[in-house]
Structure 1
Amino acid sequence: MTRLFSEHFPASSAPTPEPLKLSWVSIVFFTIVHGLALLAPWFFSWSALGIMILLHWFLGSIGICLGYHRLLSHRSFQVPKWLEYAIALVGATALQGGPIFWIAGHRLHHAHTEDEEKDPYSARRGFWWSHMLWMIYPKEEFFNPNLYRKYAPEMARDPFYLWLDKYYLLLQIPLGVALYLLGGWSYVIWGMCLRAVLLWHSTWFINSVTHMWGYRTFETNDNSRNLWWAAIVTYGEGWHNNHHAYPHVAKAGWRWWEVDVTWWAIQVLRSLGLATKVIMPPAVKN
C-alpha cells in the first residue's frame, strides 16, 4: 500500500510521539455549530429539510467524495482544469478543511493506514480518536500548512489551491447570505448548521466505523471494512475495504448491490466527455 503513495512520502526514521495538546479553538467551533444544529426543530419547514438534503448530497457527494477524495486525493479520473477547480470550490464549501489539508491527510492515511503515529485518524487509537478526537488534539505535522503541503506537492504548487486552502472559510459567507435570502434563518440553520454536522459525522464514519465493522472482500494489510449503512450516508464511500484494496479505482461499490451514488455522478461526467482516464476495477476494465 505504501508503495502506491511513495512519490509523496520519502523514507524517514520513526517519529517520536508528540504529547497531545487540546485545541480549544476546535472545541469551541464544533460546540457552537453542533449547538446551532440542535435548534433545527424550532426552525423546521419542509423546504428547509429539502435544502438540507440537497446540500448534503451536493457538498458531500460531489464536493467531498467525488472532488476531494476520488479526483484530487487519488486522481482516479481526470476532468478539465476549470471543472476541477469548480468541484474543489464545492468541496471547500462543505466546511471540512481546505483541499490541500484534506488531500494530504488522506494520502497519509493510505500510506500509513492505522499506524498510531503516522495515520492522522488511526482506528487503532479507538473509535472516538478516528472519528473526531484527532481534530480536538491536533498534531502539528497534520495541521501545519508548512508541513502537510509536502504530501500534496502538485497542489501546493498551484496558486488557486494555495488560496483556497487558506481562505476556504470565507465561502461560508456567500452560502449563508444566499440561504438567508432564500428562506431566512430556517434555511441557515438547516442548510448550514445541521447539514454541516450531519455531513461531518457521515464523513467521519468512514475513518471510524469502516475500520471496525462490516465485511471484507479483500485481505488488505489493515482492518478496512465494507459497511452498507456507511455507504448510504456517504454516497458510496462505505465500501471502504474495496477502496483500500484498490485506492486509485474510481468506483467504490463493485458488486451490483454495493450502491455507489458518487460513481453514478462520475458516469454522468464520463458520458458528457468531461471525465476521462477513469480507472476501473481490474475485473471490469473496458
Structure 2
Amino acid sequence: MGFIDQLLHTPSYGWETISGTLQQPSAGKLFNEAASRINIFKSRTNWISLLSVLMMLCLVPFLYFFLFHYFSWWYLGAMLFYSLIVMGTHGTVWYHRYCTHKSFRFSNPVTRFIMQHLVIKTLPEEIYVVSHHVHHAKSDKPGDPYNAKGGLLYCMLAEFNHQRVSETLSETDHRKASAMLNHTGVGLNSFPQYKKWGSLTSPAYTLLSTLMNWIGWYTVFYLLGGHGLACALFSGAILWMALVRAFNYTGHAHGKEKHIDGVDFDRSNLSVNQTRPGLFTGEWHNNHHLYPGSARAGFLPHQVDLAWICIYLMYKTGAVASFHDSKAAFLEKYYSRQTVK
C-alpha cells in the first residue's frame, strides 16, 4: 500500500467490499462509527472529532438567542450573507486553495494569520487538508473520504468517520503528512506527540486558537451591532458547517453521472460546476478538479469567482506574493478561442 492509501484512519466497515466496490454502510453503522470516533473515554485520540461536536453544541445557544430574542429580517439577511458568501468564500480561499493546494503564497506570516482567522473558526485545518489530498487521489472511488456514491449521510459524517488521520503512521509517513500543513502555520505535533494524541495538530494550539478566534469575533460583532448581530452571525457559522459537509455530495452530483457538455470538461470524476457554489464562493468544482493548483477556478466569462477576486486583490495590495492561474491553459486545451469570443 502506498502512502496515500494508509494516510487516513480506516472506518470499521472498511472502504471497499471484497470485490473492490465501494462499501456502503447502513445509516446505523455510520452513526455507530461516528459515536465511537467522538468517545473521548474510549481514547484520547478522539479529541479532534469530539472538538467538532463541541463546537456545534456551543453554537446552538447563539442560534436560540438569535431566533427567539433578537430575530429580525435584517439580521437574517446578515446571517445568510455572512454564511453563504463571507464564510463560503473564505473557506475556498483559505482551506481549499491555500492550505490544501498551495495555489498562492502569502507575503508574510502576518497576512497569512489574518486570512486564517478572517471568519469564525469552525474546522481544524488538519481535518480538511489531509483528507482532501486523498479525495483528489481517489475521487469517487473506494477510499475517497467523502465519496458521493456513498450517499448524503456518508458525506455529512465523513468528518468523524473518514477524514481522521491514521493513528498508525510511521515516523516517515508522519513527516510526509505534516508537510501537508507546514505552510499553514498551525501548531503541529512531533512524532511522539502524534503517537500520544493521534493527530498532526497540537490539541493545545487548536483549542486556544479557536477560543481566541471566537472571543475576538464576538467582541467585534458586539461592538458593531450588539448581541443581536453577534448571535445572528455566529448562527451563520452553523449553516456553513452544514453546507460545507454536504458540499461534496452535491458537488459530485449526488454520486451520479451528470456532466453537461460545454460546462463540465473533466470526465475523470463526477464533479460538476454548480451555479450557486460557483457564484457565491468561487467553487466551480469541475474546473477545480481539472486544475486543482490554480488560484482561479472560474475560467469561463460567466463564471464569477469571488475567491479568485479576493486572492488577486490581496496580490495587488501586497498581502499575497505570488499565485498560479490556469485559465490560459484551460482555454487553450478545453475551450476554443473562437467560442470565447
Query: Who is 2:159 aligned against?
Result: 135
- Report the RMSD for the aligned CA atoms in angstroms: 3.6
The partner residue of 2:219 within 177, 189, 200 is 177
Instruction: Indicate how the Cα distance of structure 1 residues 143 and 88 shifts in structure 2: closer, same or farther if over 3 A, else same.
Output: farther
**Partner Cα separation in structure 1 for residue 230 and residue 167 of structure 2:** 29
User: Does the aligned pair in 2 maintain the 1:75–1:248 contact within 8 Å?
Assistant: yes
Q: Is it true that 1:61 corresponds to 2:89 in the alignment?
A: yes
Query: Who is 2:103 aligned against?
Result: 76
1:108-119 alignment, distance < 5 Å: 108-116=134-142, 118-119=143-144
What letter corresponds to residue 200 of structure 1 in structure 2?
M
The one-character-per-residue Cα deviations of 1:31-83 (angstroms, maximum 9, x if unpaired) are: 56357425534312466446535643444323x21122112211112221232
**Partner Cα separation in structure 2 for residue 182 and residue 284 of structure 1:** 44
**Partner Cα separation in structure 1 for residue 296 and residue 310 of structure 2:** 11
**Partner Cα separation in structure 1 for residue 63 and residue 175 of structure 2:** 32
Q: Is it true that 1:252 corresponds to 2:310 in the alignment?
A: no
Q: What is the TM-score of this pair, normalised by structure 1? A: 0.76
Instruction: Indicate how the Cα distance of structure 1 residues 143 and 47 shifts in structure 2: closer, same or farther if over 3 A, else same.
Output: farther
User: Does the aligned pair in 2 maintain the 1:105–1:148 contact within 8 Å?
Assistant: no
What letter corresponds to residue 214 of structure 2 in structure 1?
Q
What letter corresponds to residue 117 of structure 2 in structure 1?
L
User: Does the aligned pair in 2 maintain the 1:104–1:149 contact within 8 Å?
Assistant: no
Instruction: Indicate how the Cα distance of structure 1 residues 202 and 176 shifts in structure 2: closer, same or farther if over 3 A, else same.
Output: same
Quote the offset at 1:18 in angstroms: 1.9
Quote the offset at 1:264 in angstroms: 1.3
SS in 2 for 1:78: strand
1:152-191 alignment, distance < 5 Å: 152-153=178-179, 155-156=181-182, 160-162=186-188, 164-170=205-211, 171-191=213-233
Any gaps of 5 or more consecutive residues in structure 2? Answer: 14-32, 40-49, 189-201, 333-341
**Partner Cα separation in structure 1 for residue 222 and residue 9 of structure 2:** 47
Q: How many residue pairs end up in the alignment?
A: 270
**Partner Cα separation in structure 2 for residue 18 and residue 51 of structure 1:** 42
User: Does the aligned pair in 1 maintain the 2:102–2:293 contact within 8 Å?
Assistant: yes
Any gaps of 5 or more consecutive residues in structure 1? Answer: 1-5
Q: Is it true that 1:40 corresponds to 2:48 in the alignment?
A: no
Instruction: Indicate how the Cα distance of structure 1 residues 173 and 160 shifts in structure 2: closer, same or farther if over 3 A, else same.
Output: same
**Partner Cα separation in structure 2 for residue 83 and residue 47 of structure 1:** 31
- Which one has the largest radius of gyration? 2
Q: Is it true that 1:227 corresponds to 2:284 in the alignment?
A: no
Query: Who is 1:203 aligned against?
Result: 244
Q: Is it true that 1:88 corresponds to 2:116 in the alignment?
A: yes
Identical residues among aligned pairs (%): 23
Query: Who is 1:3 aligned against?
Result: none
**Partner Cα separation in structure 1 for residue 114 and residue 166 of structure 2:** 25
**Partner Cα separation in structure 1 for residue 7 and residue 123 of structure 2:** 29
Quote the offset at 1:240 in angstroms: 0.7
